[in-house]
Structure 1
Amino acid sequence: MLDTRVKDQPRPQPPPERAGERPLRIAFLSYRSDPKVGGQGVYLAQAADALARRGHTVDVLSGPPYPELSHRVRLIQIPSLDLYAQPRNGHTALRWRHLLSLTDTAEFFGHLSGKFMEPWSFGRRAARYLKDHLGDYDVVLDNQSLADGLLEIERAGLPVVEVVHHPIRRDLELALKAEPKWGMRALVRRWYGFLKMQEKVAPRLKDVIVVSQSSGRDVAECLGVGQEALNVIPLGIDQTVFKPQPDIRRRENRLLTTASADVPLKGLSVLVQAYSRLLIQRPDLELVVIGKLREGPTADLLRVLDLTDRVRFISDLTRQQVVEEYAKATICVTPSLYEGFGLPAAEAMCCASPVVVTDGGALPEVVGEAGVVVKKGDVDALADAIAQLLADRQRRTELAEAARRRAREAFDWDRAAAAYEVVLRRAIARASC
């Protein structure tokens, strides 16, 4: 029997029904959702709350690590083996009871062989839960699992709307490009084995929300989703939290970036190399990274450049603490080689911070004319852009003001939630025909 747990709270009462429109009952799926381990958890919490504020009943069905949700949204925990949180990476986590479940057994042995199993196993567990609760929901909104279980949910009678931030094949391509060893390349391919499932499921879904025009093009190319299924809805930012902090003094020599994972896609190595060059002329320059430093490529590079004690990593921050870090930074940098949207850049803009980004994916689309854009992967171009901005206080002030203006217009969650609602109602109407 599926072990699901409803977080100990009553179902929130939605606001009064709007004239002529019945509130929706939405099951919002996310296979891992802790905001401290990546932008997906930040997105999930804010999107769910925005939909709930429009009067809809929103239940988040999530695997661990679990999200931090507003009081308006109910959490239904869909436990997994949570192998990445286990000692020795879950290799000793198997118990006899797991052998009684095909999902548990496959998750364990798939993980043991180096494959990322969570999207597949979460999809099966969520499908089983929803089949037992078909009458509780009108529609399912899935956050990027693209799991086989979604097709089971549709066959059971619930329409599914998918949110794709970017196709994960872009991550695989960049990871393979950065790995010179044949054996390690084989392991990388194995870990990304879930892509075959996603690329099979995506073309069969009738409604797919993408977060930028750039990600829409890539979703069409990599996942085979037809243009008729694509709906471009940029992300919102909670601007009651991410806003200027007039009481916090902005530092004169501090760079800030966010790196939720030490993967080539995030471009952290490019920024570290640029920082090393900038130190020649600016020995007091700081680099602060929101994220954890683990053994891997970045740690190796810091040792080679003798920067281990110069680059500061901070993690497990509250949202308010993240806002304060944006407010202290002279410049916020997003050096990514690819982004489907670029949440940290948008958050920094909401906080009136000057931003430097690359032309990787949707980043130019996000910042518009309100930031500095350089060629992705180009250490010299990144170092030069940062140096010029550090030397020009007036330009930084102008960019900060432009960033804040653009953020107010472009990153509004109420507007995004209204657009989501149109797609959700259309999916429900199609399914009822």
Structure 2
Amino acid sequence: MDHRDGAGGAGGGPGRRVRAPGRREPRRPRRLSRPVRIALLTYRGNMYCGGQGIYAAYLARELRALGHEVHVIAGPPLPSLAPGIPLHEIPNQNVFGLPLAEWARTHDPRRLLVEPLSLWEAAVSRIGVFPEMQTFGVRLLLRWRALQRRHRFDVVFDNQCLSWGLLGLRATGVPVVSVIHHPLHIDREADFAIDARLKTKLKRTLYFPLWMQQQVARRLDRIVTVSEASRTEIERYFGIPEKEVAVVHNGTDAELFHPCPDVPKETDLVFVGRTEDRKKGIGTLLEALSLLPEHVTLKIVDGRIPENGLVPRLVRKFGLARRVRFQTRFLEIPELVREYATGRIAVVPSFFEGFGFPASEAMACGLPVVANAAGALPEVVGTDGSAGRLVAPRDPRALAEAVRDLLADPARLAAMGRAARARIVSTFRWDAAAARLAAVLEETVRAAHRRPR
């Protein structure tokens, strides 16, 4: 997931605003000796901030449906949660989200003088540091004694903050489990691949809190991740053996994301994602489009395309202005579902995905997917070719050829779309993800009780 200010993670942010997971049909809860009291942390909780917001909201709902007591502790922008799930806010002044002069027009600058952490955030963010994860952990630690005295949490589940503050929470005797969706090292390397100048390398090295996350992750009780691909990368970058990392695949809400046969097709290809995120591979896609016949069109759904960002520059470079359409406003979920439905094929050209919500959501909407054989995308799309095609990463010719083959066979496209939805419905369910995660949390609590004091 992308942790830059305002950036959407896989399928989470660009062009979409997501409502809270609603009520579902009741189902028989798993028998528990005692519900586990879970503090679910997410330093940035709103679901249009990326996959991390989707993850927190759905798992909170499903863990509660299993009979556990779940409290979400979040920083702004806050999540929208299912009814009955308590939310505890860890506020900040969001000084890292805007130029300081613009921030001062809507905030009281005097607050910085009485809030040392906000002053520190304002200072270090001016030199390119992203401090939100560090300061979320410190603010939480300052409030933890009161929260724990009132709620008596059995376990903390961290949504990839990996802040120093987690070590303080663990020192109070509460076990801490964290999910690592994918190592942020991969985001930094994607930036380096696009721009290898020393200035860029220094800027991105300052931005990502990689050393902190490496040190904290190794000292927690358990690490969870969302794909086999991410588990491999966690061993590579964090030095945590694969056998010690539990894989719990994400779910996808197949009730919200569904086929819309009444929506007319407007484009051949649809891309949903944060185009300024270099690992999303938008450059490969646009180059591939330039190799396809003139009548093949693309729609890009991204609510944050800068006026002179990567996409406008590449569209001009490849002469694609008449073949690329844009959806650049934030969408409610039904609107996003309809945008998926306007395409014949969803394209996910990412160089790495820890999971890949744009792929799974498109599949739930009945679209076949052409994706890079990179990261977790083979796990989501499948490798047998029934629901989508996988191509070599960073290869625009291979991507163009796969698209050309599928567009030439409408009957095959329709069959692949049906298979894609069936795969999501059967394999990537949030209730199943929560059950697997609950087993990890319960075992962690039992192990902590056995640990010498």
TM-score (norm 2): 0.86
Residue identity matched to 1:83: V
Structure 1 residues 284 and 102, CA, compared in 2 at 3 Å: closer, same or farther?
A: same
Match of 1:264 in 2: 278
2:80 equivalent to 1:65: no
Question: Using the alignment, how far apart are the partners of 1:119 and 1:155 within structure 2?
Answer: 19
Q: Deviations over 1:10-46 (max 9, x none)?
A: xx9x999864422222111111122223222122211
2:133 equivalent to 1:107: no
Question: Using the alignment, how far apart are the partners of 1:64 and 1:160 within structure 2?
Answer: 22
2:395 equivalent to 1:378: yes
Structure 1 residues 64 and 261, CA, compared in 2 at 3 Å: closer, same or farther?
A: farther
Q: Deviations over 1:94-137 (max 9, x none)?
A: 83443444422322211111111111111111222222211412
Structure 1 residues 66 and 20, CA, compared in 2 at 3 Å: closer, same or farther?
A: closer
Residue identity matched to 2:154: D
Counterpart among 167, 172, 186 of residue 151 in structure 1:
167
Question: Which segment is superposed worse, 399-408 or 97-106?
Answer: 97-106
Match of 1:230 in 2: 245
How far off its partner does 1:142 sit? 0.7
- Aligned pairs for 1:283-322 (under 5 A) are 283=295, 285-294=297-306, 295-308=308-321, 310-322=324-336
Q: Contact 1:84–1:90 at 8 Å: present in 2 too?
A: no
Q: State the secondary structure of the residue aligned to 1:373.
A: strand
Structure 1 residues 21 and 244, CA, compared in 2 at 3 Å: closer, same or farther?
A: farther
Match of 1:191 in 2: 207
Residue identity matched to 2:310: P
Question: Using the alignment, how far apart are the partners of 1:17 and 1:311 within structure 2?
Answer: 46
Counterpart among 259, 264, 274 of residue 244 in structure 1:
259
How far off its partner does 1:359 sit? 1.2
2:435 equivalent to 1:418: yes
2:189 equivalent to 1:161: no
Q: Contact 2:346–2:370 at 8 Å: present in 1 too?
A: yes
Question: Using the alignment, how far apart are the partners of 1:130 and 1:299 within structure 2?
Answer: 46
Question: Which segment is superposed worse, 401-410 or 240-249?
Answer: 240-249
How far off its partner does 1:68 sit? 2.1
Question: Which segment is superposed worse, 28-37 or 302-311?
Answer: 302-311
Residue identity matched to 2:240: V
Match of 1:37 in 2: 49
Structure 1 residues 359 and 284, CA, compared in 2 at 3 Å: closer, same or farther?
A: closer
Question: Using the alignment, how far apart are the partners of 2:108 and 2:122 within structure 1?
Answer: 7
How far off its partner does 1:252 sit? 6.6
2:420 equivalent to 1:407: no
Residue identity matched to 1:291: G
How far off its partner does 1:67 sit? 1.7
Counterpart among 216, 220, 223 of residue 205 in structure 1:
220
Structure 1 residues 256 and 16, CA, compared in 2 at 3 Å: closer, same or farther?
A: closer
Structure 1 residues 385 and 16, CA, compared in 2 at 3 Å: closer, same or farther?
A: closer
Q: Contact 1:36–1:317 at 8 Å: present in 2 too?
A: no
Question: Using the alignment, how far apart are the partners of 1:22 and 1:321 within structure 2?
Answer: 41
Question: Using the alignment, how far apart are the partners of 1:91 and 1:334 within structure 2?
Answer: 35
- Alignment RMSD (CA, Å): 2.3
Q: Contact 2:289–2:296 at 8 Å: present in 1 too?
A: no
Question: Using the alignment, how far apart are the partners of 1:323 and 1:72 within structure 2?
Answer: 27
Q: Contact 1:16–1:55 at 8 Å: present in 2 too?
A: no
How far off its partner does 1:297 sit? 2.2
Match of 2:17 in 1: none
Structure 1 residues 197 and 34, CA, compared in 2 at 3 Å: closer, same or farther?
A: same
Q: Contact 1:266–1:337 at 8 Å: present in 2 too?
A: yes
Question: Using the alignment, how far apart are the partners of 1:318 and 1:348 within structure 2?
Answer: 15
How far off its partner does 1:311 sit? 3.0
Question: Which segment is superposed worse, 176-185 or 423-432?
Answer: 176-185
Structure 1 residues 107 and 15, CA, compared in 2 at 3 Å: closer, same or farther?
A: farther
Q: Contact 1:94–1:108 at 8 Å: present in 2 too?
A: no
Structure 1 residues 284 and 227, CA, compared in 2 at 3 Å: closer, same or farther?
A: closer
Q: State the secondary structure of the residue aligned to 2:254.
A: coil
Unaligned residue ranges in structure 2 (runs of 5+): 1-22
Question: Using the alignment, how far apart are the partners of 2:137 and 2:329 within structure 1?
Answer: 29
Question: Using the alignment, how far apart are the partners of 1:215 and 1:284 within structure 2?
Answer: 34
Q: Contact 1:261–1:291 at 8 Å: present in 2 too?
A: no
Q: Deviations over 1:147-195 (max 9, x none)?
A: 1111111111221110111000011111112113322222122112x11
Q: Contact 2:271–2:298 at 8 Å: present in 1 too?
A: no
Counterpart among 371, 391, 407 of residue 390 in structure 1:
407
Question: Using the alignment, how far apart are the partners of 1:350 and 1:44 within structure 2?
Answer: 20
Larger RCO (CA within 8 A; separation ≥ 6): 2
Question: Using the alignment, how far apart are the partners of 1:269 and 1:240 within structure 2?
Answer: 32
Q: Contact 2:175–2:221 at 8 Å: present in 1 too?
A: no
How far off its partner does 1:276 sit? 2.6
How far off its partner does 1:314 sit? 3.0
Q: State the secondary structure of the residue aligned to 1:240.
A: coil
Unaligned residue ranges in structure 1 (runs of 5+): 1-11
Q: Contact 1:131–1:153 at 8 Å: present in 2 too?
A: no
Same amino acid, percent of matched pairs: 35
Question: Using the alignment, how far apart are the partners of 2:51 and 2:366 within structure 1?
Answer: 20
Counterpart among 335, 345, 352 of residue 359 in structure 2:
345
Q: Deviations over 1:259-313 (max 9, x none)?
A: 23512111111112222332xx233623232432113222322233344563313
Q: Contact 1:30–1:44 at 8 Å: present in 2 too?
A: yes
Question: Using the alignment, how far apart are the partners of 2:321 and 2:407 within structure 1?
Answer: 23
Question: Which segment is superposed worse, 210-219 or 394-403?
Answer: 394-403
Q: Contact 1:162–1:208 at 8 Å: present in 2 too?
A: yes
Question: Using the alignment, how far apart are the partners of 2:299 and 2:32 within structure 1?
Answer: 53
Question: Using the alignment, how far apart are the partners of 1:50 and 1:110 within structure 2?
Answer: 38
Match of 2:378 in 1: 364
Question: Which segment is superposed worse, 123-132 or 234-243?
Answer: 123-132
Question: Using the alignment, how far apart are the partners of 1:39 and 1:149 within structure 2?
Answer: 23
